[in-house]
């Protein structure tokens, strides 16, 4: 009879331990966004579970209190009941009392520990991690009742622990942080791509979205040296000629190149009869420009373009000079990649050479180079592009064939335009490099 009472006590207390373990892990692992959606749809259990997660620190304290008490009680009842019952059974073997008592205590503790570990700790934990939403909803009512009844005792221990941490100079955190950081998301994307659950195209799209916030207008704009501009006294027929460049909108300048007075495009010139285009100045057609600082973050650039229904904005540097233009297409390409339509002229991209080197446009940003080629170049506060990196390392205007050593890469200038690198060759360590190393 004694051994049956011991078995029943251990099993009941182990079930209670399992309840608190499942409670702890379920409310930590559950997706609050999903619970909120279910609660909004009228799910009462989800609403209660969401209420519980709103007091997560207190809930975890309550779970720990329950686990500790039930585990201690298992140890308390296993020796007198299980141990005593086993000792009675072993007594029929004729063994000395000292032997039967020692063996029965050891067996009782081993049995209790095994039951507690498997059924009280590991199984409920694994179940809660596998089915957090279902368990959180199922346990919500009983958890709220338990927190109400045991609340004063839990609060006493919780407050004591908080004060102890503060005495040690540590400020307790009441709630676990929700959501994931950009680095967390990037890690998830990398793992999913490596595991085959995300294809390369989708991975690049998601990574582009993560990088979007870190970019500025100055980093994605078309620089002034590559922008076709119109003077305000140019005839409208000149705008028609520039349409052959593949662009449909152009900045209009006044007295000098930094005096941006407007933007004109195909829509404006089509409103002028062909016979009058040679005598109609572009300045009369131009609309007021949308002017943005080059330091403006890309999300705000997108918002300004959308709010003012513009496709093109003029970018100014910190001195008020005309730095370049940024289009709606430029912004979109940072997320989805290169967008080419029937009017665009395809630009030279990265080309992998036979010796393992890469030929890339020098105007590419260092992060774009890494994304396409896998070759990492260091970022710097004084430059964004590979061209800027070369100029900084050389300390002078480059000559064709100049090369700089950057970590394990040789960056060789293969083509120059307007006194700056136009194309460079990136050679990993071990590939044959040519030219002068600066």
pLDDT in tens, 231-273: 999 999 999 988 888 888 999 999 888 999 999 998 899 889 9
Cβ atoms within 10 Å of 401's Cβ, excluding its own: 12
pLDDT tens digits, 312-327: 999 999 889 999 999 9
| pLDDT score at 253 | 93
- What per-residue confidence (pLDDT) applies to 81? 63
- Nearest by Cα to 5 from 68, 65, 88: 88
pTM of this prediction? 0.56
Q: For 153-213, give the DSSP string.
A: HHHHHHHHHHHHHHHTT----SSPPPS--HHHHHHHHHHHHHHTSS-HHHHHHHHHHHHHT
User: Measured between alpha carbons, how far is 38 from 42 in angstroms, rounded to an integer?
Assistant: 7
The parts of the chain modelled with pLDDT lower than 50 are 433-438
């Amino acid at each position: 009879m004694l051994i049956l009472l011991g078995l029943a006590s251990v099993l009941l207390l182990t079930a209670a331990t399992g309840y608190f373990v499942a409670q702890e892990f379920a409310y930590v692992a559950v997706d609050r966004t999903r619970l909120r959606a279910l609660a909004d749809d009228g799910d009462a259990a989800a609403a209660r579970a969401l209420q519980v997660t709103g007091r997560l620190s207190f809930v975890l304290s309550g779970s720990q209190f329950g686990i500790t008490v039930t585990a201690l009680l298992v140890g308390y009842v296993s020796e007198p009941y299980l141990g005593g019952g086993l000792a009675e059974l072993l007594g029929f073997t004729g063994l000395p009392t000292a032997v039967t008592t020692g063996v029965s205590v050891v067996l009782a503790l081993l049995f209790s520990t095994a039951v507690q570990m498997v059924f009280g700790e590991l199984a409920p934990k694994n179940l809660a991690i596998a089915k957090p939403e279902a368990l959180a909803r199922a346990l919500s009512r009983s958890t709220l009742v338990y927190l109400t009844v045991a609340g004063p005792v839990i609060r006493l221990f919780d407050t004591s622990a908080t004060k102890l941490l503060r005495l040690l100079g540590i400020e307790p955190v009441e709630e676990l942080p929700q959501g994931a950081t950009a680095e967390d998301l990037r890690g998830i994307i990398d793992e999913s791509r490596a595991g085959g659950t995300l294809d390369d195209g989708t991975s690049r799209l998601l990574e582009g979205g993560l990088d979007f916030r870190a970019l500025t207008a100055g980093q994605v704009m078309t620089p002034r040296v590559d922008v076709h501009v119109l003077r305000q006294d140019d005839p409208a027929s000149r705008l028609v000629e520039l349409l052959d460049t593949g662009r449909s909108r152009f900045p209009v300048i006044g007295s000098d190149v930094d005096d941006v007075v407007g933007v004109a495009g195909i829509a404006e010139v089509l409103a002028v009869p062909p016979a009058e285009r040679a005598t109609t100045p572009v300045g009369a057609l131009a609309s007021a420009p949308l002017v943005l600082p080059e330091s403006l973050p890309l999300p705000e650039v997108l918002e300004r373009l959308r709010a003012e229904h513009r496709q093109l904005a003029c970018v100014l540097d910190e001195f008020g000079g005309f730095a370049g233009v940024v289009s709606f297409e430029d912004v979109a390409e940072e997320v989805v990649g290169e967008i080419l339509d029937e009017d665009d002229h395809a630009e030279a991209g990265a080309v992998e050479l036979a010796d393992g080197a890469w030929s890339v446009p020098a105007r590419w940003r260092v992060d774009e180079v890494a994304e396409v080629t896998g070759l990492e170049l260091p970022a710097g506060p004084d430059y964004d592009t590979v061209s800027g990196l070369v100029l900084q390392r050389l300390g002078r205007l480059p000559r064709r064939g100049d090369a700089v050593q950057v970590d394990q890469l040789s960056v060789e200038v293969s083509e120059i335009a307007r006194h700056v690198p136009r194309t460079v060759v990136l050679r990993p360590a071990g590939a044959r490099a040519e030219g002068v190393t600066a």
